[in-house]
Copies of this chain bind each other. A is one copy, B any other.
């Protein structure tokens, strides 16, 4: 039902970690950048046995009735289940988990087998005023799966058992998939029939279709394959007032599009049980390559050209100078042919006045498709990049990016273990506002890091989801942890960043969602009339307020 060795205090599974062997520059560089002491003190998480949880508030008759509803072994109250489902994977979640602080764990964790059980469970919970917290992979970074401070008991609904491809329409390139399928489960079932969804968020291995849809997620190849909302043709959702299903149609003009209310509803209107997804034949090749640009602005101009005049890439990820320097610091020491190639590349770059760590910016660019077509696209794309001074680094950088595309979250655990605060922020805006937003937001984060004794800190950003009309910004910030005040420190930075984003015209989130952390800022995004509309829908579909309260809309 669950992976046996989930890292309840961090990312992924206990048997894996970010491999730092063969990367000699990493620690020295990091210590210099963050002003860390030469000798780092390891601060391990508390052992699971030492965690003390509030006892479940569900009494025996209620539990007996729940077990009659769902079956004996799919209602769990054990420490591990409750701890694993108490938080998402935000920085502040991991800080609390490592310290064994679980103020509001779920009172039970249940695993419905099918939509019928989901419907029965919701009506059972409404009757008893018990809160339900829908749970996919639990990778939220905004507190969207954390039970609220509330007198009512809370049950987490883990959809892990609902992971099947229900049908594939090969003619229409559509697949009906259950909401609890994780990334690997989605892709394995589709790949077996020659198709792919093409949604690869960094959380891919530990997030689910339902979670992606509920949060309006974006995968690394969203530039080519679209965000999850672009891939979602129809959903089925069980609400406290009944099941709702949107029409399986490529487009419609039947009033406001309700599909877009349910996509992004973050478990607050009901539980998405399955969705009809737009799928594609597996691409023959995925040809991803690296480029280096003199300045961020040049790289942005190339991306804009590619989106407005073509050829539109499948993936584009442009790092600013600090992130490019971080890649260099994290690089493997190569030997033999590889080292030679490195030196040749460096020599070329030097001749062109490009040195990583300076203002140079790394671009990962890629095309999926039939081999012949991809070759033709690359000829055009290379010309566009060269027009903007881009220096081609070849496929090697694309291949190494592919190998490491899902492992970076493990590095965060390593850093948290030695007293480094590390978190990410993301937003989006128009091309004309992108540099302004970038400067205002990263400036606010740097200032807040200094203010909270986390400084000087390190702030790095990439642009990784692009459109003809603009793009997203994804910022990682690192600083020294304020020991004993980690959460307050983080909130200071988060608040500064969020206010800067809204003031500079960015959207509150491009693909992480609202959750609990952004709920008090939603007003700044959609205004009082927008909030009024959202509250009305919430009250209409969840009149008792049992579905994930406090997420999306402030309690």
Contact = CB atoms under 8 A, between A and B. Distances in A.
Contacts of A471: 250
Count class of interface residues, chain A: 35 or more
A171 B252 contact: no
Q: Give the number of copies in the complex.
A: 2
Contact of A265 (B255, B510, B514): B255
B255 A465 contact: no
Interface in A237-253: 239, 241-253
Nearest to A526: B258
B217 A253 contact: yes
Contacts of A512: 253
Contacts of A249: 428-430, 470, 506-507, 510
A250 B218 CA distance: 13
Interface string A505-535: 1111111111000100010011111101111
A250 B172 contact: no
A82 interface: no
B522 A532 contact: no
The winner among A254, A264, A518 for most chain B CB atoms within 10 A is A254
A320 interface: no
Given A250-B467, A260-B257, A465-B251, A241 B532 contact: yes
Contacts of A281: 308
Contacts of A416: none
A169 B470 CA distance: 11
A468 interface: yes
Nearest to A466: B250
B513 A251 contact: no
A199 to B, nearest CB: 14
A418 B218 CA distance: 57
Contact of A529 (B169, B310, B534, B541): B541
Nearest to A514: B255
B468 A173 contact: yes
A540 B538 CA distance: 12
B467 A534 contact: no
Interface of A: 169, 171-174, 215-218, 227, 229, 233, 239, 241-266, 278, 280-281, 304, 308, 310, 373, 428-433, 465, 467-472, 505-514, 518, 522, 525-530, 532-537, 539-541, 552
Minimum-distance CB pairs A-B, first 3: A536-B540, A260-B260, A244-B529
18 contacts: A173-B468, A174-B430, A174-B469, A229-B257, A244-B530, A245-B527, A249-B428, A251-B428, A254-B526, A255-B265, A256-B264, A258-B530, A258-B533, A260-B261, A261-B261, A280-B468, A281-B308, A536-B540
